[in-house]
Amino acid sequence: MWHTPCICLGMAQKVATTRSEKAVAAKPRVARTKATELAAKPRRESPRRRQTRIAFPPVPPASPSDSESELRQAFAAFTQVASSLESSYNQLRQELAEKNLENEKMRSQLVQILENLPCGVVVLDADSAVRLANPRARAIIDLSSDTLAALKQVSEGGEIEISISERRIGVTCTFRDGFSIYLLREVSEMALLLASEIRQPLGSLELFSGLIADSVDAHPETRQWCDHLQSGLRQISATVHNAIYHHGLPAVRPEPMNLTRLLRETTEFLRPVARQKGMRIELALDPAPIEIPAEAHTVRHVFFNIALNAFRAMSHGGVLTISTRRAENTAQIAFSDTGSGVAGENIARIFEAGFSTTRTPGLGLSVARAIVAAHGGEISASSNGPGAEFVIALPMKETA
C-alpha cells in the first residue's frame, strides 16, 4: 500500500520531463523558419530613412562681387561705430576739462581764503609732516620739529593756550580723514583789537588837548597841566600804533617829503613830552633842504619811537640832539641822547620785538626798523660813551 503512490509520482515526473524536452527541441525549428521567411521577403525602408537620403542640389560658391559688398558693409559699420566712439570720447574729454577747470577755480579760491585768514592754519598728516601752513601760521610759529611736537600734544576740543618760543599761542585742534588741523591765534592779538578800538578816541583827545594848550599860553600853571595831558596821550598813542604796526605794517605810499620840515614838526609834537619829563630837544639840521621819498605819518612815528626810547634812558635834565647829514645818496638822521647808554651784549638784540631792559612792551625799536626797511633804508645803534646814538639812513629823492 505504501509503494503505489510513490510509483505513480515518479511516472508523473518522468512524463513532465519528457514534455518539456520536446518543447525545447521544437523552438529552434520555429525560430529558424521565421528567420528564413524574413530573409526571403523584400526589405522595406522606413519613411525617416528615405528623408535622410534626399540629395540637395550643390550651393554655388559666392562670387567676388558679393564678398566685396559684404566687406564694404562691414567696414561701413565699423567706421560708424568708431565715429560714435570718437564723438563720445571727445565729449568726455570736454566734460573732464570743464570739471578740471572748475576744480582749479575752487582750489584757487580756497587758497586765497586760507592766505587771507586772520588766524593761522596748519595741517599735519599721520606722519606729522606739514601738508599746509598759511602765511599767518608761518608768522606766528616757526614750524620746527619742537613746535610741531608741541602742537601734537593738543587734543581735539576747545581752544587751549600753549607756550611756543616764549609766546602764548591759542590753539584749536580737530581731526579729519587722518589729518590734524590746527587753528592758531596769538594771544596778544587781543591787544591788537584793543589798540584798534582805542586809536580813534585817542585822536579826538589829542585834538582837544591841543586846542586847550593853545588857549592857555598866558597861564604857565595851566600850560604845565596841558603838557602832562598831551604827553600821556601821545605816549599812549605811540604804544597803540606800535601794537598795530607790529601785527601788520600796511604797504607804505612814499611821496616827496622835505626832511627838515618833517623833523621840525616831529620836534614840536615831542616838546610836551620833553617838558613833562624835564628834558630838552636840540636840533642840528643841515641848512640845505633835503628831500626824501617817504610816507610822512609812518616816518614821523619812527622819529617819535626813537625819541621816546631816549627819554626813557635819560634822567631829569637830559638832552636829546637830532641832527641830519648827507652821505652819498642817503640822508642820515642821528638821535643822540645823554642817557645811560646800551650795554654791549644788548646792541645786537635791541631791535628785536619784545626785547626791553625796562617795563615797556619793547615794540618801539622793532617797529621803527620795520618802517625804515619798508622805505628802503637802514637803522643802527651804537653806544661808545655816555648815552647812545641811533642813526637812520633813508634814500634821498633822485634828481633829474
Residues 172 and 227 in one domain: no
> Which one of 68-82, 159-173, 191-205, 314-328 scores highest in mean pLDDT?
314-328
Q: Is the pLDDT of residue 293 over 90?
A: yes
Given 153, 186, 219, which residue is the final one in a domain? Answer: 186
**CATH number of the domain where residue 256 is located:** 3.30.565.10
Given 186, 205, 223, which residue is the final one in a domain? Answer: 186
Residues 139 and 225 in one domain: no
What's the confidence (pLDDT) of residue 166? 64
Residues 206 and 290 in one domain: yes
Number of structural domains found in the chain: 2
What's the confidence (pLDDT) of residue 283? 93
Given 138, 165, 186, which residue is the final one in a domain? Answer: 186
Residues 134 and 267 in one domain: no
Closest CA to 296 of 287, 304, 308: 304
Q: Which amino acid is at 206?
A: E
Q: Is the pLDDT of residue 372 over 60?
A: yes
Model confidence at 260, in pLDDT bands (50, 70, 90)? Answer: very high
**Which residue in the block uniquely carries the three cell numbers 586765497?**
112
Residues 374 and 321 in one domain: yes
- Asked whether residue 209 is domain-assigned, the answer is yes
* Residue-range definition of the domain harbouring residue 272: 192-395
Q: Which of 176-185, 285-294, 359-368, 378-387 has the weakest average pLDDT?
A: 359-368
- Asked whether residue 31 is domain-assigned, the answer is no
- Asked whether residue 267 is domain-assigned, the answer is yes
pLDDT digits (tens, 9 = 90+) for 138-158: 888 888 888 888 888 887 766
Q: Is the pLDDT of residue 55 over 70?
A: no
* Comparison of pLDDT for 136 and 22, the residue scoring more: 136
CB 166 within 8 A of CB 147: no
Residues 351 and 288 in one domain: yes
CA–CA gap between residue 87 and residue 89 (Å, rounded): 5
The three-state (H, E, C) secondary structure of 1-15, written as one string:
CCCHHHHHHHHHHHH
CB 161 within 8 A of CB 174: no
Residues 360 and 389 in one domain: yes
**CATH number of the domain where residue 114 is located:** 3.40.1840.10
Closest CA to 267 of 275, 69, 41: 275
Residues 233 and 178 in one domain: no
